[in-house]
Amino acid sequence: MNQVRKRRLEELIREEISKMITFGEIKDPRVNSFLSITRVEASQDGSHAKVFVSSLDDIEGHLDEAIIGLSHAAGFVQSIIAKRVRLRLTPVLTFVADRSLKEGFELTEKLKDLLK
């Protein structure tokens, strides 16, 4: 798979999962609309994809619970993606916690404190 097609696949997966979360299509109570899909990394052959998820609320443990909920719903999410996006092969999804936004914010706060 060339890089342009791979990036397009990653963006399509990111958009579809974001829509599912926003519109409450995933019925697991651990998955709520405060989640954000930050990026998707598809394998070179398109058979697997890592979905990076961050949380807009800072409640500790909430992101880990959401990842568990999304992992349980992975088959459902894959089937919806297969229906909405025309693909020869729908990738197997793996959900990963992305704490880079929170870490970046904390680093910015530390830098501000140093400049005072």
Taken in order 15, 81, 57, 23, the sign of the CA dihedral is positive
Cα 98 from Cα 102, distance rounded (Å): 9
Taken in order 64, 31, 19, 95, the sign of the CA dihedral is positive
- What type of residue is 68? I
| Strand ranges (E), the chain | 35-42, 48-55, 92-97
Task: Check residue 75 and give its pLDDT.
Answer: 95
Q: Report pLDDT digits (tens) over 35-90.
A: 999 999 999 999 999 999 998 776 677 889 999 999 999 999 999 999 998 888 89
Which domains does the chain possess?
3-115 (3.30.300.20)
Residue 5's φ and ψ, nearest 5 degrees, are -65, -40
pTM, rounded to two decimals: 0.85
How close are the terminal C-alpha atoms of the chain, in Å? Answer: 50
Cα 91 from Cα 82, distance rounded (Å): 9
Whether the pLDDT of residue 114 is over 90: the answer is no
Cα 2 from Cα 45, distance rounded (Å): 9
